[in-house]
Amino acid sequence: MKFIDWFPYYQSIRLQFSYSTEKDQEAANMLSKMIKRKALDTKVLQKKIAGKSVMVIGSGPGLEKNIKFIKRNTKFVKIVANGAVQALIEKNIKPNIVVTDLDGNPSFLQKAEKMGSTMVVHAHGDNINRLKKLVPKFRHLVGSTQVMPVQNVYNFGGFTDGDRCVFLAEEFGAREIILVGMELGDHLSRYSKEGLVDIELKKKKMKAGKRLLEMLSKRSRSQLFDTSKKPIKGFTRFLINGSDELV
């Protein structure tokens, strides 16, 4: 998504949650400097995603229920949001790409990189301290932001880790995108609750992310599916049967 198209959506989110554009930009600039010698080219993401079947995995209630489905379907590129990383690694499933603003379990994020996951680390005004603490522990990464992109820090669109995964898959030309554990509503799993201070704020953020995905569905070039019982508007429900085929 072009920055000029994304920015009005960011402005709406900024006003809703009282974010500071200046702080968000400060975080992006700081991350750019921090990763000057360890930044990955986005061609790495292009190679992994373009023309492929992508599974976007969030930490919602459907995650644990569908672990076997995730593990069996090795043909999918697994783009995993933050808190869901722990669930996958505990089941010996390697995330191909991890999208995180670093508020997940740090040890599992580091384990994911050691397993070969491509890390997409997001900078915003509220995670500057986490960036300072954790970015030096990663060997290589792609930087992301929700404001003006700077050197090695890109704006692919999206707000929460989960919907940013979908925007990323769309940006790099996924053939199809299937959501698992992406119930962006009032129900949280144990993985999405971990470390939370304000659950109600988390729910509001997820609803904002859901609205963005509804918007994205109207302009997406990818086939969009959702394994949730109530799929996001614009996504087709993906029903899992014994052979994991659409029915």
**What CATH number did the domain enclosing 12 receive?**
3.90.1480
- Whether the per-residue pLDDT at 202 is higher than 70: the answer is yes
Residue 40 in contact with residue 118, Cβ under 8 Å?
Answer: yes
Q: Give the three-state DSSP class for 219.
A: coil
Is the residue at 244 inside a domain? no
What is residue 227's predicted lDDT score, i.e. its pLDDT?
Answer: 96
Overall domain count for the chain: 1
Radius of gyration over every alpha carbon of the chain, rounded to an integer in angstroms: 17
For 166-192, what is the mean pLDDT?
87
Q: Helix crossing, 199-217 with 161-171: angle to 10°? A: 20
Name, in order, each residue with C-beta under 8 angstroms of 78's C-beta and a sequence gap of 6 or more. Answer: 54, 55, 57, 70, 88, 93, 94, 95, 96, 97
- Whether the per-residue pLDDT at 89 is higher than 60: the answer is yes
Is the residue at 158 inside a domain? yes
Is the residue at 13 inside a domain? yes
What is the DSSP secondary structure assignment for residue 41, as one 8-state letter?
A: P
What is residue 197's predicted lDDT score, i.e. its pLDDT?
Answer: 58
Is the residue at 246 inside a domain? no
For 26-32, what is the mean pLDDT?
98
Residue 167, domain extent: 3-237
Is the residue at 136 inside a domain? yes
Is the residue at 117 inside a domain? yes
What is residue 188's predicted lDDT score, i.e. its pLDDT?
Answer: 64
Is the residue at 34 inside a domain? yes
Is the residue at 243 inside a domain? no
Name, in order, each residue with C-beta under 8 angstroms of 73's C-beta and a sequence gap of 6 or more. Answer: 55, 244
What is residue 104's predicted lDDT score, i.e. its pLDDT?
Answer: 86
Strand partners, 118: 97
What is residue 242's predicted lDDT score, i.e. its pLDDT?
Answer: 44
What is residue 189's predicted lDDT score, i.e. its pLDDT?
Answer: 60
Strand partners, 80: 57, 98
